[in-house]
Structure 1
Amino acid sequence: MNSIQKEREAFQKFCEENFDFENHEQTYFDEQTQCYENDIGEDTESINMAWAAWQAAKTKAVPEGFVLVRASDRDREVCELIDQRDNMERLADQLKDKLQDLYKVDFGEYTSCNCPLKNAIKYDDSNLVLVPREPTEEMLGAAWEAPPAGGPSGNRCVFYEKQAVVYKAMVEEAEKEMTEAQEQKG
């Protein structure tokens, strides 16, 4: 069965379901003239006009999987998508800048081969620990208990080493407090 026969059958079914088609019981479709005719003199002009309109509508129909939109709507939607993309790029740039400031790392600029935001996401921050601006009592206690770095007093290198030991003890205590807090929540 070819497509014109399928369309004709669909048209006839539509007509039978929606109109008084009983008046056209003796009407048939003439393949040669491609029109509806009958041999008893009934009027076929209205059904042929409906068939022509049906075919015209089908030729302008939207293919399956597509949707018909006004060009002005399409242009507006494209502009909105471009604006959304531009806004997301601005936000990504702001996030990249904040992460660069936080980590004190340069993730580079956007190029065809580099995505700074992706670099920031992939950045290994496992060596960073969040510590309070003011040490807690426990952190100060850990610093007090830290073994001294030793060496003669007044020696700058020794002083810096001692401070590093003290700070490391404070950070370790902060890590311990964070782990304990997370365990209590979990």
Structure 2
Amino acid sequence: MTKVLGRVTSINVRKVLWALDELGEPYEREDWGLPNRDPRTPEFLALNPNAQVPVLIEDDGSSLWESNGLLVYLAQTRGRLMPEERHKMGLALQWLGWQGTELSTVWGYAVMGLVRGIAGYDDEARISECLKRWTTRMDILEAELAKGKPFIAGDAFSIADIALGLSVHRWYKVPRELKAMPAARAYYERSRSRAAGARWMPDDYG
């Protein structure tokens, strides 16, 4: 059986768990990642030298890491969650890449301070600057979603919507007054209306 190593409070772990649930594939999950279980051990580093979760272990014992890469891998090997039409496939991969390189790279300080409440992340100037940069990225997503597509690549739900749905969930977990983004809000509600979306975008963590 497929196994996922990682804690459910990690947005990157939840990407993989959501995909497996959408695929209807049974799996086991093993807690790894601070503060639950330190991945900087020889056992874990042999699977991922970056000491990061998630790690996916297939039933043949092979392992892979890097959450967005794992989404592509699952879509390709299971034959679902990726558009078949070439341009729509490109859009899904484009927005999946954008989530990893543009969106997720700007929210760190605000998430640590406002969502997770970690000591030392309480500089209001840095929080404000972080939220400003995050809002700029969200404006890009809002403009795309405002074109009227139900999902980022068109009519069909894809792996890109898993990564983006969890990212928008994180945005709405910030306990601050945020810029109104009606298209992103509607997209968020559509994502949470899916059984797996509701499971992996709960109210108690972002």
Query: Which structure has the greater CA radius of gyration?
Result: 1
Q: Same fold (TM over 0.5)?
A: no
Using structure 1 for the length normalisation, give the TM-score: 0.18
Q: Which has the higher contact order (CA 8 A, sep 6+)?
A: 2
Using structure 2 for the length normalisation, give the TM-score: 0.17
